């Protein structure tokens, strides 16, 4: 260990001396070094070091290195060319990037083709604008470390760019014309609505009973009611045969609130039975309202919880459930009540809602009267075969019956299947013509998409009619509805339906048991 200690010490001295400057600057003085101790005999020095270093040499042995430390010569870092790597940073390149001329020479030597640079006019030296998309990048020159474009390639890129710009201009011009056309139609429609409002307010509504059946009013009605008078005309057209008053609405609304409170607190069967309704039906019906309201016109975000019309819709449906416990709440009612709430005040909406659901067709569907529903389906098929015989046979080949698509349309009065503004226009004429127009509208939808439906099978037809396209317009639909003739063998809708009802009664008599003697 002593030899090792001495050798390492000598190595340290040598490295220290090497690191000292050989020449001092002029006028400088070297720092004074302590005088070396007098030389001792080699044997005594060796003996002293062996004794004195016995305790410290072990620590120095483990802390010192056996070999001299070589200072690493730091190479100047070379700035690497910009690049991309999937993980981590790009490692610096030791070789400098090649000049474009060198790369070009190497490319010519490898391919044996001489490169002729394009004329200065062909290049985009001065760019007046930054390219807004990748379309203009085709005109940019390649990076310096890649071969430059040839004249043919530059001209081809310029031609492709000009074609893309021309096509974009055509699309822009076409869209601009389309927007102008839409704006013109909108202005024309607003002018017609403004003039129609004056006629409805000043002439028709004050003389409702005498003018409602005139040809002029019916034609004006077909064009759609102005939104400002729509609710008033609906109320007058539906009527109030049930003689419901706003005070009666408040009575049934308070009763509904009591039932909701009793459900949340006690849910006592005796209390519900005392109310005069079935426990299961009433409770399930009222609870279903909360669930169904959130699914009513979800895109409007006004009937969902926290929306401005949520409580109002909840109140109208709850009051009706208590007013007609024999009907209760049925899915689909929320859409009808929501459309009325958007056009009428709360009490007026309830009055129109109750009288509308009291019509024979709506009452048959909402009370799920199967025999009456089958009569309506049979009458619909009579006019279906009369107006669309080819599509009728196509549906028959797949055994596709009207109940598959008509039930949803009738239950919601098309307010769920059609856009809201188009559904309101359907409601306008429905209030004028009654239940006949509901089935005529269904035939108009089938006529509008007849060519598409003829190419579909059972599953795709059912899916298509359940969710109609959103781009359907009122002009196209009402032109198809106008083409539907609700007349079969000189019989209108009411006569066809009455004959079906008569045949059904006669059939019931024939199948009734004979009286006992």
Give the integer Cα–Cα distance in Å for 41 and 160: 97
Structural fold of domain 365-507:
Cyclin A; domain 1 (1.10.472)
* Angle (deg, nearest 10), helices 227-238 and 151-199: 50
397: phi then psi, degrees, rounded to nearest 5: -65, -25
DSSP label of 188: H
The torsion defined by the Cα of 15, 17, 19 and 24, in degrees rounded to 10, comes to 180
Say which residues have a Cβ less than 8 Å from residue 421's Cβ, sequence separation at least 6. Answer: 474
End-to-end Cα distance, the chain: 139
Amino acid 506: pLDDT: 61
pLDDT confidence of residue 342: 95
**pLDDT at residue 99, as a whole number:** 59
Listed by start position, the domains of the chain span 153-223, 229-264+281-358, 365-507
Spatial contact of 441 and 422, defined as CB atoms under 8 Å apart: no
Q: What is the pLDDT of residue 54?
A: 47
Tell me, what's the pLDDT at 264?
67
Fold classified for 229-264+281-358: Helicase, Ruva Protein; domain 3 (1.10.8)
The Cα–Cα gap between 408 and 424 comes to 17
What pLDDT was estimated at residue 276?
44
Q: What is the pLDDT of residue 431?
A: 95
Question: What DSSP string describes 327-342?
Answer: T---TTHHHHHHHHHH
| C-alpha–C-alpha distance, residues 459 and 469, integer Å | 16
The predicted structure's pLDDT at residue 52: 47
What is the pLDDT, as a whole number, of residue 480? Answer: 96
How many CA atoms are closer than 13 Å to the CA of 314, on its beta-carbon side? 21
Residues 6+ apart with CB under 8 A from 229: 197, 200, 201, 205
Local mean pLDDT, 10-residue blocks, the chain (517 residues): 46 49 47 48 47 48 48 46 47 54 67 57 44 64 83 86 89 91 86 90 94 93 93 96 96 90 60 44 66 88 91 94 91 94 96 96 94 95 95 95 94 94 96 95 97 95 92 93 90 90 66 46
Rounded Cα gap, residues 303 and 294, in angstroms:
7
CB 401 within 8 A of CB 408: no
CB under 8 Å to 403, separation ≥6 — which residues?
373, 377
């Amino acid at each position: 260990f002593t030899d090792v200690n001495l050798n390492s010490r000598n190595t340290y001295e040598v490295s220290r001396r090497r690191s000292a400057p050989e020449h001092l600057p002029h006028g400088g003085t070297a720092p004074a070094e302590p005088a070396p101790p007098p030389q001792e005999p080699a044997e005594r020095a060796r003996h002293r070091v062996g004794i004195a270093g016995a305790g410290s040499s072990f620590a120095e042995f483990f802390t010192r290195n056996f070999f001299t430390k070589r200072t690493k010569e730091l190479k100047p870092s070379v700035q690497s060319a910009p690049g991309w790597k999937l993980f981590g940073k790009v490692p610096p390149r030791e070789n400098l990037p090649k000049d474009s001329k060198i790369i070009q020479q190497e490319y010519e030597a490898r391919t044996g083709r001489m490169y002729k640079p394009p004329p200065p006019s062909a290049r985009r030296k001065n760019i007046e604008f930054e390219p807004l998309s990748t379309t203009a990048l085709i005109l940019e020159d390649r990076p310096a470390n890649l071969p430059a474009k040839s004249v043919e390639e530059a001209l081809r890129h310029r031609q492709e760019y000009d074609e893309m710009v021309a096509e974009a201009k055509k699309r822009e011009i076409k869209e601009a014309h389309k927007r102008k056309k839409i704006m013109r139609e909108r202005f024309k429609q607003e002018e017609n609505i403004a003039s129609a409002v004056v006629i409805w307010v000043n002439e028709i509504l004050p003389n409702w009973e005498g003018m409602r059946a005139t040809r002029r009013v019916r034609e004006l009605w077909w064009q759609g009611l102005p939104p400002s008078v729509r609710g008033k005309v609906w109320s007058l057209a539906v009527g109030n045969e049930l003689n419901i008053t706003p005070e009666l609405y408040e009575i049934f609304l308070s009763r509904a609130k009591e039932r909701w409170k009793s459900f949340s607190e006690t849910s006592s069967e005796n209390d519900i039975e005392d109310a005069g309704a079935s426990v299961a039906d009433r409770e399930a019906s009222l609870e279903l309202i909360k669930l169904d309201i959130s699914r009513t016109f979800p895109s409007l975000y006004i009937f969902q919880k926290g929306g401005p019309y949520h409580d109002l819709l909840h109140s109208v449906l709850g009051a009706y459930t208590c007013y007609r416990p024999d009907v209760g709440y049925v899915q689909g009612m929320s859409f009808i009540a929501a459309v009325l709430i958007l056009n009428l005040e709360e009490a007026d909406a309830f009055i129109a809602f109750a009288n509308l659901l009291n019509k024979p067709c709506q009452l048959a569907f909402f009370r799920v009267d199967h025999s009456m529903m089958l009569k309506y389906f049979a009458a619909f098929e009579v006019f279906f075969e009369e107006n669309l015989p080819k599509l009728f046979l196509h549906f028959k080949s797949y055994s596709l019956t009207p109940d598959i698509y008509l039930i949803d349309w009738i239950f919601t009065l098309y307010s769920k299947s059609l856009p809201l503004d188009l559904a309101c226009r359907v409601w306008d004429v429905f209030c004028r013509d009654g239940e006949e127009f509901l089935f005529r509208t269904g035939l108009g939808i089938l006529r509008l998409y007849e060519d598409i439906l003829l190419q579909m099978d059972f599953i795709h037809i059912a899916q298509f009619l359940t969710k109609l396209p959103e781009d359907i317009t009122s002009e196209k639909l009402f032109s198809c509805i106008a083409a539907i003739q609700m007349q079969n063998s000189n019989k209108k809708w009411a006569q066809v339906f009455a004959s079906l009802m008569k045949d059904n009664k006669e059939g019931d008599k024939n199948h009734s048991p004979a009286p006992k003697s």
